[in-house]
Structure 1
Amino acid sequence: MKTVLVIDDEWAIAEVLEALLGDEGYRVIVAHDGRHGIERAAEWPPDVIMLDFMMPIMDGPATLIALKANPATASIPVILMSSLPEDTVAERSNGYTAFLRKPFRIMTVLDAVDAALNSHS
């Protein structure tokens, strides 16, 4: 069973992703800020990470830098999510595998997770 770590401070989005991915057979771990997400990734190494761009405590770009700096998490594909356009997000972030614009469609989420997992295998 593949594990997806969802790091998003918006509870409703995290719950929807948890339900959607859980229904598709993924084990889903949820964290509500970047610092907590890094801790969760160390506890249960995920196969893919879905990371929100704008969060309190530790935002997406800072979380991505920390994940890529750690050899244990550096190679895990990261799907960056934001309501902002990707051009804006890309100015502050690099090293992510895919980008999802919020609000997203169910099939877009599933396709992005599938593609990220396939890019890593």
Structure 2
Amino acid sequence: MQTVLVVDDEFGVAEVLQSILEDEGYRVATAINGKQALTRLSEVTPDLIMLDYMMPIMDGTQTLAAIRSNATFARVPIIMMSSLEEASVRETCTDYDSFLRKPFRAMAVLKTVAQLLEQSPRK
């Protein structure tokens, strides 16, 4: 069973993503900010990370940099999520593998997750 780490400060978004992913057979771990996500990485080894761009304490850009600098997790596929247009996100953050704009549809989430996991060098 593949594990997805969902990092989002909006509880409702994290809850919906967890439900969508678990219904498809994925194991899901959650974190409410980047700092907590880094702690969770000592507890779980995700096959994919879904990361919110705008969060308090440690935002998506800072979290992404910390994840990519850790050799254990540097190659884990990361989906950046935001209500902003991707072009705005790319101005400050480029080292992610895919992008989902909020609000998103369940099928778009599942398609993106499946594609990245299929292409992942960690599979």
Using structure 2 for the length normalisation, give the TM-score: 0.96
CA RMSD of aligned residues (A): 0.7
Following superposition of structure 1 onto structure 2, how do residues 2-17 of structure 1 map, counting pairs within 5 Å? 2-17=2-17
Q: Which runs of 5+ in 1 are unaligned?
A: none
Match in the other structure for 1:64: 64
Q: Which aligned segments of 4 or more residues in structure 1 are displaced greater than 4 angstroms?
A: none
Deviations 1:61-89 (A, max 9, x none): 00000000000110100000000000000
Relative to total residues, which structure has the larger helix share, 1 or 2? 1
Matched to 2:16, the amino acid is V
Displacement after TM superposition at 1:38 (Å): 1.1
Identity rate, percent: 52
**CA–CA distance in structure 1, aligned partners of residues 27 and 83 of structure 2:** 25
2:44 counterpart of 1:48: no
Displacement after TM superposition at 1:41 (Å): 1.7
Matched to 2:67, the amino acid is L
**CA–CA distance in structure 2, aligned partners of residues 95 and 41 of structure 1:** 18
Following superposition of structure 1 onto structure 2, how do residues 34-45 of structure 1 map, counting pairs within 5 Å? 34-45=34-45
Match in the other structure for 2:113: 113
Matched residue pairs, number? 121
Match in the other structure for 1:83: 83
Displacement after TM superposition at 1:42 (Å): 2.3
Matched to 1:56, the amino acid is P
**CA–CA distance in structure 1, aligned partners of residues 119 and 32 of structure 2:** 26
**CA–CA distance in structure 1, aligned partners of residues 21 and 62 of structure 2:** 25
